[in-house]
Structure 1
Amino acid sequence: METIQIRTGRREEMADITPAVRRLIKENGWSDGILLLYCPHTTGAITVNEGADPDVVRDITINMNKLVPLNGDYLHAEGNSDAHIKSSMFGCEQMLIVEAGDIQLGTWQKIYFCEFDGPRSRKIWAKFI
């Protein structure tokens, strides 16, 4: 297992980790298989979505906040219940195809680490199968 380190700069952001994932694949000489990316944080997530138009990330973030607002009917004492809910909605893992030493993504797709309770130092575990 390998680890990708991330430092987020805002409470909520979608950080493009595609270059870091590609670098990890290349550095380890992984060729053909499956790459599991896993987020071991309860207020973070991993997703794949459009990376060509930054308005998509903005739209996702703005509308997730409408669906799950920071200040809602929450009992959790830490004040980050919205982050836990958003993490569960997105999910903590992605399984990606690796072929000929590269991740197979659609033309517009990027891999994002979703921060919902930052800024923080985060990690993503990567397991090549």
Structure 2
Amino acid sequence: MVRLVSHTMLTNKYNQMILITKEVEQAVRESGIKNGVVNVVSKHTTTGVLVNESLECLESDINEFLQRLVPEDHPYAHARMLKDYGSTAGNPTGHLKSLLTGNHCHMLIADGEIVKGGAQEIYFCEFDGPAKRTILIQVMGE
């Protein structure tokens, strides 16, 4: 069996980490699938999905790490007028941070629950907000 759930949220910051573990766990419970896999995928190119420990200090470290790797003031080629869009592309850092974090995660399901370590949480990462964002949660199994 396969079940696909779409979850939409409004982010409120330019760079933001949002815990989505509860939404993913709910989708798994509601699917009725006892054993299988859950895939979480962002539909956007300037966002990320990652698994890590939920600590404010670690979230701060992750954001600072990404800012060091992808500084806002670098002369990116993407920061220019795009005729196809009719506007200036001002989000090269969002694309590059998404490249580093990835846009998805995969977790196993056993006995109707996500199998994860005690400190593992699932994050949605906004790198070009505020914006309306959608993740897809696909639960597959039996």
TM range (shorter): over 0.9
**Is the aligned partner of 1:34 residue 2:37?**
yes
**Is the aligned partner of 1:90 residue 2:101?**
yes
Q: What does the per-residue CA deviation read over 1:77-121, in whole Å, with 9 as the maximum and x for residues that have no partner?
A: 311101100001111111110111111111111000011001111
**Is the aligned partner of 1:99 residue 2:110?**
yes
Aligned-residue CA RMSD (Å):
1.0
Q: Larger % of strand: which?
A: 2
Deviating beyond 2 angstroms after TM superposition, the runs of 4 or more aligned structure 1 residues are: none
Give the aligned length: 128
Tell me, yes or no, if the aligned pair for 2:31 and 2:139 is still in contact at 8 Å.
Answer: no
Q: TM-score, normalised by structure 2?
A: 0.86
- How far residue 67 of structure 1 moved from its aligned partner, in angstroms, is 1.1
Q: Which has the larger radius of gyration?
A: 2
Q: TM-score, normalised by structure 1?
A: 0.94
Can you give the 5+ residue segments of structure 2 that lack an aligned partner in the other structure? 81-88
Could you say which residue in structure 2 is the equivalent of 1:54?
56
- d(CA) in 2 for partners of 1:105 and 1:125? 19
